A and B are shown apart, each in its own frame.
Chain A
Amino acid sequence: MNLTVNGKPATIAEETPVSLTYLLEALNVEQREYVTVELNGDIMDRGDFEGTTVKDGDTVEFLYFMGGGR
């Protein structure tokens, strides 16, 4: 399946829709528990990652949590 990930073309082997959780694993995203994901322009709730499907042609953006403290 062909996707756009962080503005660049990306391909994963699976042809059928996969969960967002699976996609992050397939893309070898490290420290996934700290990643925020936008799918086709919508920011996804972390609790919905497993139940959200990604299909051919989708646009995915992900960023790491950015925060800190003194």
Chain B
Amino acid sequence: MLEIPREILDAVIEQAQQGFPLEVCGLMGGAGNRVASRYPMTNTDASNEHFMMDPKEQFAAVKAMRAADEEMLVIYHSHPESPARPSQEDIRLALTPNVCHLIVSLENREEPVAKAFRIAAGVVEAVDIETI
């Protein structure tokens, strides 16, 4: 179970809509299974099919989380035209341990779908999202 404040999930969906047709990405920090902060990141690939985070922004976000006594809980990105499920590339590049991967699908832009997963050693496990 991943608890995400409604305003943070809404902001992620808004970021995805604003960034469409490109993929957008970011991080969420928090404690336990409760998200408390969001860090939108630049997709340095600026692509409709791929994302890559800016390392400088990644380091800054992690330090900010640490200063707030938070840890990285979620890596998120959007799928502008495909479902909210990890692609083979998402699975292969899920390298950071102990985080959830949240994907926002805009396959139907009128009804965005957000789903979360744990991915470890190529194994994908769905994680329920509870908005709080």
Show the binding face of A for B, using Cβ within 8 Å. 6-7, 31, 34, 36, 38, 43, 61, 63-70
Across the interface, A68 reaches (CB within 8 A) one of B27, B41, B58, B93, namely B93
Question: Are B90 and A69 touching (Cβ within 8 A)?
Answer: yes
Show the binding face of B for A, using Cβ within 8 Å. 23, 25, 27, 41, 45, 47-53, 55-56, 58-59, 62-63, 66, 75, 77, 79-82, 86-87, 89-90, 93-96
With A36-B58, A38-B59, A63-B55 already in contact, the answer to whether A68 and B90 are too (CB < 8 A) is yes
Secondary structure at chain A's binding surface: helix, strand, loop or mixed?
A: strand
State in angstroms the CA–CA spacing of A36 and B81 once bound together: 30
Q: How far is the CB of B94 from chain A (nearest CB, A)?
A: 8
Secondary structure at chain B's binding surface: helix, strand, loop or mixed?
A: mixed
State in angstroms the CA–CA spacing of A70 and B62 once bound together: 25
Question: Are B81 and A70 touching (Cβ within 8 A)?
Answer: yes
8 of the cross-chain contacts (CB-CB < 8 Å) are A38-B55, A63-B59, A66-B53, A66-B95, A67-B52, A68-B86, A69-B47, A69-B87
Q: Which A residues lie within 8 Å of B82 (CB)? A: 70
